[in-house]
Structure formats: structure tokens, C-alpha cells
Amino acid sequence: MKFYNSKDKNRLTGKLSKPIVLSILFLLLSCYGQAQHKLVFTKADTVIKETALKNGNAEVFEKVSKRISAIRQKGFFQAESHIRNLSKDSTVVALNYGTQYTINARLKTYIQDGEELKQLDFQNYEQLDQTIEKKLSTYRNNGFPFASARSTVTEISDSTVSLKINLNRGAFIEIDTIILDQPDPPVSVSFLMAYLEIQKGDAFNNQKIQTIPEKISKLEFLECVNGPFVRFQDNKSIIRLKLKSKASNAFDGIIGFSTQNNNKLELTGNAMIDLNNTLRSGENLYLNWRAPGRESQSLALRSNFPYIMQTPFGVELQFELYKQDSSYLNLDFRAGMQYRFTFFNVVSFFLKHQSSNILSQKTPINNQNLDYVFNGLGVSYQYESIDSKILPHQGWRFKAEFTGGQKNIQRNDSRTEEFYDSLSLQSNQAEVFLLTERYWKPFPRSVFFVKNETKYIQNDQPLENQLFRLGGIKNLKGFDEDAMRVKAYSLLNLEYRFLLEQRSFLSAFWNGAITRDINKTTNYPMGFGAGIAFQTKTGIFQLYYALGKKENNPVDFQNSKIHFGFTSRF
């Protein structure tokens, strides 16, 4: 058992008086300048164990408490500890085991907690230990880090050990602030306190402080060098940390040229840049330019700013431009407000504006490519729990999104008034998007990856220039980039990866989809093949060889596709 000593001695400090205990605790937890704190246990002036505390000096009392507990559970239930030496980088604790009791005794216990007095019987020391630990843990996580228990042995016989245990909450401590122990910190304190869910004026929470390194390690752009180191002053606590940035930004770019049927040279390629925490506020900035060929190009911009004014609210902005040869130009703008339950658990409410302008009337007049404007409101929810954003091995992602609004078909001067008489110029429109990704690692070198992506447009008069684009390395391998235009699809991807290194693998995959086009025709395209990914000094290179099959056509090996991508991290 733990948290109490025999008779009237203070917890963990033997005969030391309460003012001395608090002074030692204050000095001990203010030693924040070292990367590691060494804890030394001695018995009869002989060193019996040394422990290096990597996460700062806040672990000292927990380690001492666990050591005393283990000793008492062997029958030395009057064991006690004395702090003999204290310095900035180490603590020496002397242990006194006392008498070992080998009787199989029942523990008759009176627990005094303030004005509340409980009488409980326990069959062994471990049961009593767990009861006291649970009570004191509640105190330590609700503003009372100095909570302690003191025991008095009132009777010992062959059948019963009677104990009286007094619980003392100690002083109430508030959180004051977090200090980053470096001249040029990689992140703002306001973001860090919001992310860690630690605010000025909160009650001291030992559990939150102990899990700070683990929570920081989940951020792709940040890691904890040392700490947390805690200092108490005037019933307030100051937490000190030292952090450093991780290589989380990404860039990839492939530029090429292709020859069209008219022997005209066309620029093709892909360029992407993904920036994290460049403004030291945990934000994300994303840009992607794509030119898959056939005279089409797209540009996507996204930004995400979490924890505005240190609140759970954030802002997201998105802009996308898509140009299909000389036929039409699509613009898509979205602005939203986010609420974060945690950094990886987010609900968003947003406004969405879409427009499409017909650029040329070279194609025959029809009602499938028209000028239109869509304005709507939407809500989305996303959750992420993966071990790494770069080639994950375990975890899952989920995103659900719904948008509803009104679509207005715009008149074009190149078409007659009679053309629009048969059309409904205003109509309601809804869009649904679902994404689920699951990674798991049943064996040391094996990773299974399953992905489902579903999109659907509900509109009485869908237009070809508002359809989803499907095909390519990002969704349906085995087909050209953006080869299909559909109003609805559900895609399933199954992939097995054999790990060569942490970020290198060989893979075999199958992906297939159910699609519905503008003419309400259902198709079942599928693709399969193999791939490889390997890490170099400059980034990660991925190469997939894929075969595609559509409708009732047989697999054509002469029409195989090679998809490749390269991502540089910095």
C-alpha cells in the first residue's frame, strides 16, 4: 500500500514536519533546468536502485510512492522514506523497511476524510492500497497536488491489524501558465495551452501534466525535448517545457509535356505544398496545382487556423479553380467555423459558393454544360487517430459532410431564350461525402489498408460541368487522372503492404467503385496491381503499376497505367 506511513509520520517524509515537506516539494519541483532528473534509493546507506526520470521532476513523488507501496505489500507495511539529499539534477531517498509481518491478517481500517469517517475491512494490503490511491488521485487531478495520507497502527493481533488513516487534501493550486524554455520557441504558448486543454486559472491536474509529452508527440510538427518541469509559487503552478519542430511540411512536384492529336505541346504535371505551423499557431496551409492532360488544369488552396483567441473555435478557408480545356471554368469557395473537441476531433459549419462559366460554344447546344451558381450551407465532422500522417501503420480516419442549398442556372447570351424555357432555372441541391480509412498492423512487417470513399449529388437537373472527377493515383488506380465524370460513386480500396523499412514497402492492391453518370447509367470500374514506396534522403517515392477494367471489357495489358508520386519532407 502507499500514501501513508505508520503512526503520525507525514507521507513519504517520515518525521519531517509539514513546513519542511512543503519546502522540499517546492524546491524539488522547481528544479526545471535539467533534461533528466536522477532518483536514487538507498537502504542502510547502500544504493539499491537508480532511476532516470525523462519527463521531468514531477515524477519524483509518484516513483517514491510506488516504491513504498511495493515494499509494504511484502509485509513491511510500516515502511517509510526520508529525503536525504536534494540537488538540481538528483534526489536521494533513504528507505526504512521496519518490521516484516507474516501473519495472514484482516485489515480493519478507519478512513478519515475531512468530516467523513468510513470503516472498511480489507483482505490484503493491495486492496487497501488501491482504495487510498483512487481517492488521492482524485484530489491530485482536481487542484490538490499535495494530498497525502497518514496512518496510525492502533492494534495488531493474530487475526486483525487495525489502522486509522487520515486523508489531507493540502493547499489548492491553480495553473498559472506554460513557459517554453528556449529563446525562439517553435510554437506559441496560446496554441499549446489550448491544445493541451490547460488554461490559466484551471485547477492543478497531475494527470494532464504527466501526459503532456505523449500528447505533444501526436502532433506531426512538434516534439518534446524535455519536461514537463513544474514549479509552485503562491498557490500557483508554472509548467516549463522545451520543444522542437519536426519535419512535417511536404512538397512534391512533377512537370512534363505531352503531344496532343494536333501535335501541339501541352504542359502536364502536379505540384503540391503542405505547410504546418509556419506561423507557430498550429495552422495548416495547402496548395495543389494539377494538369493531368487533355487541356485541363486545377488549382486548390486550403487554410486552417485552430484555437482562435485560445478557444476551441477555428477558421477554415478553401478555394478551388478547375478549367476544362476551352469548355468551362469552375470556381469553388468555402468558408467555415470549426469547433474542436480535441485537435483531431472537429465539427465544422460552413458556407459554400460554386459557379461555372461556359467558355466556348463549339460543342452542340445541350442541357448538360450550362452556366450555374450554387450557394449552400454545410456541416462536417472528422476524426483522426493514426500513428503518422506519412504512410500510417495503425489507426483510422473518418469524415462525414453534408451540404444543402439552391442551384441557379444562369442565362448565357450565346443561347436563345427558347432554350431556357424548358429548363428549371432554380432547384434544390444536396451533396453527401463520406470517407473512412483503416490501417492495422497484425504482424511486425505487414500493414493492411482499407479505404471507402462515397460522394453523391442529389439534384433534379445535374449538369456535366458540376460532376465529380474520378480516376488516378489518389482514388481509382488503373485509370487516367480524372478520366470519369460521375454524379455519384462509392469507392473501395484494399491494399496489403509489406514493410521494408519504416517508410518503405512493397504492396498489392485492388480498388473498385460503383458509379452513376449523368444519364443514370451504373458502372463498376475496378483496378488492381502492385506498388512500391521507398524513402530517400530527399523524400518518399511511390510507384504503382495498375490494370483497369470497365464495364464488360476484358483486362487490357497494353493499356496498363503507371502511377507515381514523390513527396519531400522538410
Query: What is the C-alpha separation between 275 and 125, in angstroms, rounded?
Result: 55
Confidence of residue 85 (pLDDT cuts 50, 70, 90): low
Domain of residue 163, residue span: 18-168
What is the pLDDT, as a whole number, of residue 258? 54
Same structural domain for residues 159 and 184? no
Q: Which residue has the higher pLDDT, 212 or 133?
A: 212
547 domain residue, yes or no: no
- Looking at 117, 137, 168, the residue that finishes a domain is 168
Residues 190 and 160 in one domain: no
Number of domains making up the chain: 2
Q: Supply the pLDDT for residue 115.
A: 72
- Quote the pLDDT of residue 338: 97
* Res 239: pLDDT: 92
Amino acid 566: pLDDT: 79
Cα–Cα separations (whole angstroms), residue 329 to 322, 356, 357, 360, 547: 6, 6, 5, 10, 31
Q: Which three cell numbers mark 89?
A: 539534477
Residues 137 and 228 both lie in one domain: no
Last residue within a domain, chosen from 213, 229, 245? 245
Q: How confident is the model at residue 57 (pLDDT cuts 50, 70, 90)?
A: low
Residue 544 has pLDDT above 50, yes or no: yes
Within-domain flag for 379: no
Is 108 in the same domain as 184?
no
H-type alpha helices, 114-219? 125-140, 189-195, 206-210, 212-217
Residue 448 lies in a domain: no
What does the pLDDT average to over 477-487? 89
374: amino acid identity, one letter: F
Residue 312 pLDDT > 80 = yes
- Residues in the chain, overall count: 570
Q: Is the dihedral angle over the CA atoms 544, 550, 553, 554 positive or is it negative?
A: positive
The reply to whether 122 falls in a domain is yes
Res. 223: pLDDT tops 50: yes
What is the percentage of the chain residues whose pLDDT exceeds 70? 86
- Measured CA to CA, the distance from residue 369 to residue 329 in angstroms comes to 11
Residues 44 and 157 in one domain: yes
Query: Would you say residue 333 lies in a domain?
Result: no
pLDDT band at 542 (very low <50, low <70, confident <90, very high): confident
Return the pLDDT at 216. 93
Q: Distance between CA atoms of 526 and 262, rounded to whole angstroms?
A: 31
Burial call 14-25: b when 16+ CB within 10 Å, e when fewer: beeeeeebeebb
Q: Which residue has the higher pLDDT, 51 or 188?
A: 188
Based on the fold, state whether residues 151 and 230 are members of the same structural domain: no
- Give, in order, the Cα–Cα distances in Å from 531 to each of 353, 442, 491, 504, 561: 38, 20, 19, 11, 12
Task: Pull the grid cell for residue 238.
Answer: 508554472
Instruction: Answer for the pair 142, 174: CB distance below 8 angstroms, yes or no.
Output: no
Q: Is residue 128 part of a domain?
A: yes
Q: What mean pLDDT is reported for the chain?
A: 83
* Residue 257 confidence class, pLDDT cut points 50, 70, 90: low
Do 153 and 185 lie in one domain? The reply is no
Rg of the chain (C-alpha set): 32
Mean pLDDT throughout 217-227? 89
Q: How far is CA 449 from CA 239, 400, 442, 494, 513, in A?
A: 40, 19, 11, 6, 16
Residues 24, 162, single domain; the answer is yes
Give 520 or 495, the one with higher predicted confidence: 495
Residue 268 pLDDT > 80, yes or no? no
User: Per residue in 254-286, is it b (16+ CB within 10 Å) or e — as a string?
Assistant: eeeeeeeeeeeeeebbbebebbbbeebbbbbbb
Is residue 226 domain-shared with residue 95, that is, in the same domain? no
Per-residue pLDDT, 50 = 85
- Flag the least confident range among 283-287, 389-393, 487-491: 389-393
Q: Inform me whether the pLDDT recorded for 19 exceeds 70.
A: no
pLDDT per position as a tens digit, 314-337: 999 999 999 988 889 999 999 999
Residue 153 and residue 194 share a domain: no
Query: By the 8 A CB rule, do 273 and 286 touch?
Result: yes
For residue 221, which phi and psi values (nearest 5 degrees)? Answer: -110, 10
What is the pLDDT, as a whole number, of residue 259? Answer: 53
pLDDT tier at 34, thresholds 50, 70, 90 = very low
Mean pLDDT of 488-501: 96
pLDDT, position 452 = 97
- The predicted structure's pLDDT at residue 127: 80
In a domain, 312, yes or no: no
Q: Binning pLDDT at 50, 70 and 90, where does residue 266 land?
A: low
Which of 187-196, 382-391, 437-446, 553-562 has the weakest average pLDDT?
A: 553-562
Residues 87 and 205 in one domain: no
Instruction: With cut-offs at 50, 70 and 90, classify the pLDDT of residue 289.
Output: very high
Which of the four pLDDT bands, split at 50, 70 and 90, describes residue 108? Answer: confident
pLDDT band at 565 (very low <50, low <70, confident <90, very high): confident
Assess if residue 419 is contained within a domain. no
